[in-house]
Structure 1
Amino acid sequence: DLAILCAATVIGVTIRGVSPLARAEEAEWPYVAQLGAAAQEHARAAGVTFEHVTRSGHAAQAIREVARDAGADLMVLGATGLEHPWSTTIGGTAGSVASEAPCSLLLVRSPHALLHVDDIMARAVSSVTMDAPLAEVVELLLRRNVKALPVLDARRHVVGIITGGDLLERADMGLRLSIKQELDADALGERLRALARSPKSARDVMTRHVHTVEGSADLATVIRLMAARRVKRAPVVDQHKELAGIVSRADVLRAIAALPEPSEAAEHELSTAGRTVADAATIEVPVLPAEAPAEEVLERVLGSPLRRVVVTTSTGTVLGLITDRDVLARSSPETRPWILRMLMGKGPRPGEGHAADRTGALTAADLMAPSLVTVRPEDSLAHAIRLMMQHQVKRLVVVDEDGRFRGLVDRREILRLLAGE
C-alpha cells in the first residue's frame, strides 16, 4: 500500500546463508521460493513494480548492501525472534540491520514478539515445601486439579518440582493422577491413607534439576526451553529468584492460537507455504476394529506407552479413541476394582484367569470416546494449534483424505516445530 501511494518499487531480498547450517537450511528453499512468487504475484495484481534479489552472505550485512546499492528510501523488516506457524518475518536479524541502516527503517513486530512469560503464566500457583508429606502432595494436586507442584525452600526459591510422572516413578503411586480423578470417594480415600503411611516427603520424590524461566523472558525463550529440555511446564521466577507463577505448554499454545492471523485470501495464496501437520513426527499407537472384545482392548491399552488405542472400521476409517481412563470410566461397579488392580500392575493381565468373564460382551465400540478431533497432513500448524486449544486436547488424530489413521501429533512435537528444530 505504501508503494502504491509513493509509486515506488519494492525489492524483495532472499539471503543464502554461509554458515555451517546453510546446508540444513536448504530444506526451507521451496517455502522461500513459493513465498517470493506469491509476493511478486500480489504486487503485480496491485500494479506495483516488484524486483526479487538473491544474495549470499550474512543476513544483516547482505540486506544493508542491497539497500545501499539500490539507493533505497525505506527498509521494511519484521522482527519476531520466533518461528511462528504463519510467520514470514526475519526475526533477530532486524536488530543487526537497524544498528547500521543506510536509510530509514520500518520495523514491524508481530503481536507475539511483544508477549512475555508473565503475560501468559498462571499466577495463582500451588507449591509445597521439601518436608511436605507425600499424602499432602497428592491431595493438593487432586484438590487443585493441577499437574505439577513447585517445591520451595525457606526463601521461596524453587528447588524442585513434582509431577504425576515423579509420583509414578518414585512414590509407588500405581495410577496416573487423571486416573485417580475417576475413583470414587472410598477408593480414593484408601489410596490416600496408604500414601499417608509412607515415610516419604516432597524432597524424596521431586525432580531436583528443575528448569525455571524469568517472567521477563519472551515467548520465544520459553518455547525453545520447552522444546530443548522436553518439559511440559516451567516455574516462573522474578528478579529475586522467588516463585512468581508457572507456565505450561498449553499456556504457550493458547497465546499463539489467540494471535491475529493472515486474511483468508492471503492464507489461501500461501496455503502450502510454512509448516503443516505433515512436518510433525506422528506417534504410533495400536489400532483395533470396533468389534474387538474388551479383553483385547485392555491388553492393547496396557501394552501401549500412551495407554490408548485407536478404533477403526473394517476399512480403516477412524471411529474413536480409547484411553485407560475411558476403560475405567465405562466399567461397571463390579469390574472396576479388578480393572484398577490391573492398571496398577497388581492384577491378572488380560488373557489370564477369567478376564473375559469380567468384561462380558463389551467391545471397543462400547468403550471408545467417539468425540474425536482430527487433522489432515496438509493442514497448517496454525490450524492444529487452534484445534488443540478449542477442544482442550493434548493430541490430535491425523487422518488421510479417506479418514484412515496416520498417527497422533502432540503438543511436544508442535513446540519442537515452533522452536525451529
Structure 2
Amino acid sequence: MISQEVSRQLYSHLKDVRGQVIEDLMEKATLVKEDIHVSKIIGIMLKDNSHEVFVQHPDKTIICLNMRDTLVARDINTMKASTIGKRIPSLTSKESIGNAARIMSLHRLRALPIVDGKNHEVIGQLSSKRILQYIFETFVKKKINFDKRIIASDLMTPELVTIGPEDKVATARNIMVKDMIDHLPIVEQTKDGKNMVIGILTSSDILKTLMPSDRIARDALISDHEQHRLELAARGLADKNLITISPNETINSVIDLMLKSNSTYALVKSMDSVLGIITFRDVIALLGEQVESEIPAYIIGLPEDPFEAELVKSKFTNTIKLLYKIFPEIVEARCKIKIKDVTGERKRYEISANIISPYRRYTYTSKNEYDIARIFDEMSDSFKNQISRKKSSDKQRESVRFSPKE
C-alpha cells in the first residue's frame, strides 16, 4: 500500500532526475520539410520508428506531427505536413528533464526538439523513452528499490478504452484521434461472459494500413480490390503478443520490462483479467511538480502561461486541502493536464486527477472545457460526491491494490 512517506521518498529520489540537464540525453531528431506529403511522412515514421517528426520553418518556429496527427489526413498523397502539424515549444540543451516532462505531458508528445541556444536550429531531440532509461539508470546506480511499496497497480491507468475484435480499423482510428491515445486493447467476450483481451492495436499499426499493400500485416489477408484498408476488422491487424505484467510487480520491474521488450506499454494483468495499462506517460507523470507539502500532491503538464499555471496550482491545492479535511485518509493526489485543441489564442484542456487512499482510488476527468477554474470546481464536487457515496455505503472497502484470491 502506497503511503505518504513512500510518496515523499519517491519524489525525493527523483529530484536529481528532474533537475538533470538534457544535454547528455540528446538523440537524433527526425526532421522533414514542410511541403512533404503525409504519405512520405508515414513512411519515414515507420522506417525510423519515430512517433514524432519535426518541421522547422525559416523563422525558426517548429511544428510537430505525431502518429495520431497523420491519422486525420483525408488524403495522405496530397496533404502536406504544414496542414496538419501543430506548433510546439522547443528545448535547449541546458534545460531540465523536469521541464521537458511537463511539456511532454501537456502536449501529449513522446519527444521534443532541442535547439541550439544561439541560432535556434534543431540539433536533436529528447524522448520519453530516454527519460525512462535515465530513471531506471538512476534507480540502479543509487540502488533504489521500493520493493512492494510502489507497484504496477499504483502506476497504471485503470480506465481502459477498448474495442471489439470485429470493430473496424476506422473505428479504432477515430477513437485514437478523439481521445488522444495510441493504444487500444481488443476485448472479446468469452462463452462464459468474461471479457478477455486478445490483442492490442497501436497508432503505428493503423499507419501501416495506410501504406501500399505490401506494408499490411500478412495476417490481415485482404487486398485493396476486396475492401478498403480502414474497413478491416481490428482482429486482423492486432498484435497478439501482449506485453503484460502482474499488478504486484515493482516500479523497477515495470520500467525494465518496457525497455527490454522495446514496448511503449505494459498491460497490468491478473489471471485473464486486464486491470489497466501503463505507458511512458504514466511513468513520466512521476516527475510532476509538488504543489502541496502537507499531503503529497503533484501536477504534471502545467500550462506555459504563468497565470494559468498559478491558477492550476492554487485550485488543485485548495481542492486537496478541502478534501483532506473531510477525508483525512488521503495519502496522495496527482493531476495531469493536456491540451485538447487550440482555437486562436485559446486552449482547451483536459484535466484528470487521482486521489489515493489506503483502500481505493478516486478518479476525475474533465469534459472539454476552456475555463480552468470551472474544471477544478467540478473536480472538487465530483470528489466530494465520490467520497460521500463511499462513506454512506455499507459495502466492504474496495482496495486500490490487487489482492490475489486464495
Q: TM-score scaled by structure 2?
A: 0.54
User: 122, 128, 133: which one pairs with 1:243?
Assistant: 122
Where does residue 54 of structure 2 map in the other structure?
150
CA shift, 1:205, in A, is: 2.5
5+ residue gaps, structure 2, are 176-182, 210-215, 289-297, 300-406
Inter-partner Cα distance in structure 1 for 2:226 and 2:264: 25
Contact (CA 8 Å) 1:215, 1:236: kept in 2 or not? yes
Contact (CA 8 Å) 2:53, 2:66: kept in 1 or not? yes
Where does residue 329 of structure 1 map in the other structure?
217
Where does residue 166 of structure 2 map in the other structure?
298
CA shift, 1:260, in A, is: 3.5
Where does residue 161 of structure 1 map in the other structure?
64
CA gap of 1:142–1:297, structure 2 versus 1, over 3 A, is closer
Where does residue 354 of structure 2 map in the other structure?
none
Inter-partner Cα distance in structure 2 for 1:317 and 1:205: 37
CA gap of 1:225–1:340, structure 2 versus 1, over 3 A, is farther
Inter-partner Cα distance in structure 1 for 2:198 and 2:265: 13
**Is structure 2 residue 281 aligned with structure 1 residue 412?**
yes
Where does residue 309 of structure 1 map in the other structure?
186
Inter-partner Cα distance in structure 2 for 1:165 and 1:285: 16
User: 142, 149, 172: which one pairs with 2:75?
Assistant: 172
Deviates more, 1:232-241 or 1:131-140: 131-140
Inter-partner Cα distance in structure 1 for 2:266 and 2:220: 29
Contact (CA 8 Å) 1:31, 1:274: kept in 2 or not? no
Contact (CA 8 Å) 2:187, 2:195: kept in 1 or not? no
Secondary structure (helix, strand or coil) at the match of 1:371 reads coil
CA gap of 1:31–1:271, structure 2 versus 1, over 3 A, is farther
User: 253, 263, 267: which one pairs with 1:397?
Assistant: 267
CA gap of 1:381–1:201, structure 2 versus 1, over 3 A, is same
**One-letter code of the match for 2:246?**
R
CA shift, 1:391, in A, is: 0.7
CA shift, 1:131, in A, is: 3.6
Which protein is bigger by CA-based radius of gyration?
Answer: 1
**One-letter code of the match for 1:243?**
V
Inter-partner Cα distance in structure 2 for 1:90 and 1:139: 37
User: 173, 191, 203: which one pairs with 2:82?
Assistant: 203
CA shift, 1:405, in A, is: 1.8
**One-letter code of the match for 1:396?**
A
CA gap of 1:133–1:378, structure 2 versus 1, over 3 A, is closer
Alignment of 1:133-144 (within 5 A): 133-134=37-38, 136-144=40-48
CA gap of 1:381–1:151, structure 2 versus 1, over 3 A, is same
Inter-partner Cα distance in structure 1 for 2:287 and 2:227: 38
CA shift, 1:246, in A, is: 1.4
Q: CA RMSD, aligned part only?
A: 3.9
Spell out, residue by residue over 1:95-133, the C-alpha distance to the aligned partner (whole angstroms, 9 max, x if none): xxxxxxxxxxxxxxx5x367422222213x232333445
Secondary structure (helix, strand or coil) at the match of 2:166 reads helix
Tell me the number of residue pairs that the alignment of Structure 1 and Structure 2 aligns.
Answer: 269
Q: Percent same amino acid among aligned pairs?
A: 16
**One-letter code of the match for 1:260?**
F
Contact (CA 8 Å) 2:186, 2:197: kept in 1 or not? no
CA shift, 1:276, in A, is: 4.5
Q: Which contiguous aligned blocks of 4+ residues in structure 1 show a shift greater than 6 angstroms?
A: none
Contact (CA 8 Å) 1:133, 1:202: kept in 2 or not? yes
CA gap of 1:381–1:204, structure 2 versus 1, over 3 A, is same
Q: TM-score scaled by structure 1?
A: 0.53
